[in-house]
Amino acid sequence: MKVTIERLGHLGDGIAEGPVFVPMALPGEVVEGDVEGGKMAAPRILEPSSDRVKPPCSHYKSCGGCSLMHASDAFVANWKQDVVRRALETHGLTAEFRPIQTSPPQSRRRAGLAGKRTKNGAMIGFHTRASGIIIEIPNCKLLEPAVKESIPALEALTIAGTSRKAEISFTVTQTLGGVDVLAQGGKPLDGPLRIELAGIANQFGLARLTWEDELVCEIYAPVQEFAGHRVTPPAGTFLQATKDGENALVSAVLETVSGAEKVLDLFSGCGTFSLPIAEQAEVRAVEGEASMLTALDQAWRFGKGLKHLTTEARDLFRRPLLPDEIKGFDAIVIDPPRAGAEAQIAEIAASNARLVSMVSCNPVTFARDAQTLVGAGFEIGFVQVVDQFRWSPHVEIAASFLRR
């Protein structure tokens, strides 16, 4: 079957009339192949797009870690901007878009890797495209070198801590003290295994090793820096994927709340925004995970030149802050998960808040929540798209809202 690609879907697949979904295809390309279940699994490119480039990674054809490496940087940047723009237009909204901020190659400081024992050792990597098979990634162009260099340690942990048929997953994070590893899906932790795992962590110089929810050892402090302030996050906790992406988002947030004296930071995490803001304003940080707030509070107590910062552990989906609780803050920062913050945004809209800085990883829920704010009298100031998940369809957004 021969088809012409009309557009890209939200997962980065080409879509032709039908619809027919075609992986690694670009708009305008003519492709041919067998179609089953609405998908052309092995397309042959008959007429390539001028935006098609040679993927820089030798693993790209089979690895599921990236999905847009066959497209030029300019094409991906424009496409990601358009994804956010179209999401807003669906709700009748327009905005000033700033140039996209894209993280460089080999800058992912946090990644989820899979491991499995083999006859001769262990295999560590990403899953292949649309399957549960693991592919090794020695030439990966995505990960920070320190994360990639931790693979021998992960192999040793896999051999020691899994059975032959089981798969183990690792959350690997580069920190100032070294690599922080959270392992999930391994053998139950007992005394002898704990000793063996600790020995492996020491041998390879891991900063910290956590097995499921139990700390095996902490050899070096797994510290992150937010605007120069040191934080020790809980194992496997949320962290912006790249330092470049974090800096771009923080810059946009600080610009929006500049001049505010009291700032409310919702879904604050460990303080990615709270700590930089505390250099210029008092902060109230609200987050559902108490352990993340403990890390934030400790960082604030040891920080220098920071204004007053308080924390509150609260499920903002079930118990959003009400208008009376929002009163008195000059600005609100909100950075919810992919589901957005529909209930909390409704309370902000009903309050007397005038200034909101919204950070989002989902254009659809971002546009929905933006519509609620605009309906309550806010105007969108600017939209900053940040691409820290390079070569993937994921996108981050920072936007400012001012109620006139």
Show which residues are catalytic.
361
* Cβ-based neighbour number of residue 74 at 10 Å: 10
Pairing of strands 167-175, 282-287: unpaired
Of 83, 71, 59, residue with least CA distance to 142:
59
φ and ψ at residue 345, rounded to 5 degrees: -65, -35
What Å distances lie between residue 263 and 124, 307, 326, 382, CA to CA? 43, 11, 10, 19
Residue with tokens 């894209």: 102
**What is the C-alpha to C-alpha distance for residues 267 and 317, in angstroms, rounded to an integer?**
10
- Type of residue found at 235: A
Angle between helical axes of 363-375 and 342-350 (0-180°, round to 10): 20
Of 335, 165, 180, residue with least CA distance to 250:
335
Decide: helix, strand or coil at residue 127: strand
**What is the C-alpha to C-alpha distance for residues 107 and 273, in angstroms, rounded to an integer?**
20
